[in-house]
Structure 1
């Protein structure tokens, strides 16, 4: 499963990092390595997986609805176009840095497990039960779940850039 493979890549990278790597802010004033991980875990648990679960349980969903132009493009490409995105200031949330590598490892493992549980429930799901994504239109449970892996994959370029900034050799 792509989800497990991509999230495991992030888990494996944690074994190479040092505590101080988590806090260092790059010169472009972007997020630290730790903040990227916190962002990924929070988005996974409280946005993508939460909405997949809501679609599966038919909680506050609607029958039908379509993806907008951006949503169609993302799913046609199978991921985000290879470019930087800037959140509008009105909705931008700057993640807090993590306390430790161990905290990140534990939260990432828990997040991966939640994703595996939801993946098991996708067989026989109702593709017409949907929830609106603010940027992509209406998505069903499987599409919300697929967004998890796409989002993790999208941030790999940022992780590689941070590793270069921190002089971390990590394949």
Structure 2
């Protein structure tokens, strides 16, 4: 994908999440089908944290050339995700080694602000990445070594992957999306 295509895809994906916040009541946003599954609010918290403290942080590391190396390859997991520009249509368990505590949701209004900020910050970093040669990489724990544009694409792909989870929760809650 070109940088402009990545920016457009990221914008569309983030807008879906921002717009969806108006569909939910506070009770729906906090409801969980069972103790093993996340609420919509927990999913939003996961997405915000992953976008900000993982994907965008690694975009910055690549641009600043720190905590990584020149060169390195993606493994088979990463190659498949990027080849198809999609995660497999399965529920993914975060590896125990990188799993943190259960996400604690904030309010829907807070996520409107946070997601708009992530979109703004992501697009600004994408513009900075336009001049990057793509040689410096940092390591993803599941995909292997990734450069700045791969981290940016990975962020959009990861966010889009959670559309399935969002739809499952909306279906469970009886929310019809027109």
Residue aligning to 1:96: 104
Q: Does 1:122 align with 2:110?
A: no
SS of the residue corresponding to residue 95 of structure 2 reads: coil
- Partner residue in 2 for 1:152: 159
CA distance in 1, matches of 2:132, 2:109: 35
Structure 2 residues without counterparts, runs of 5 or longer: 1-7
Displacement after TM superposition at 1:170 (Å) = 2.0
**TM-score where L is the length of structure 1:** 0.95
Q: Which residue of 1 aligns with 2:140?
A: 133
Whether 2:63 is the aligned partner of 1:53: answer: no
Tell me which of 38, 41, 50 is aligned to 2:48.
Answer: 41
Bigger mean CA deviation after superposition, 20-29 or 78-87: 20-29
Query: Which of 82, 85, 92 is matched with 2:92 structurally?
Result: 85
Deviation at 1:66, TM superposition (A): 0.5
Distance 1:82 1:41 in 2: 21
Looking at secondary structure, tell me which structure has more helix per residue.
Answer: 2
Deviation at 1:164, TM superposition (A): 0.8
Counterpart selection for 1:16 from 6, 15, 23: 23
Alignment RMSD (CA, Å): 1.2
Instruction: Answer yes or no: is the 8 Å Cα contact 1:13–1:170 preserved in 2.
Output: no
Q: TM-score, normalised by structure 2?
A: 0.91
**Equivalents in 1 of 2:95, 2:149: separation in Å?**
27
Deviation string 1:64-94 (CA, Å, 9 cap, x unpaired) is 0000111111111111011111123443221
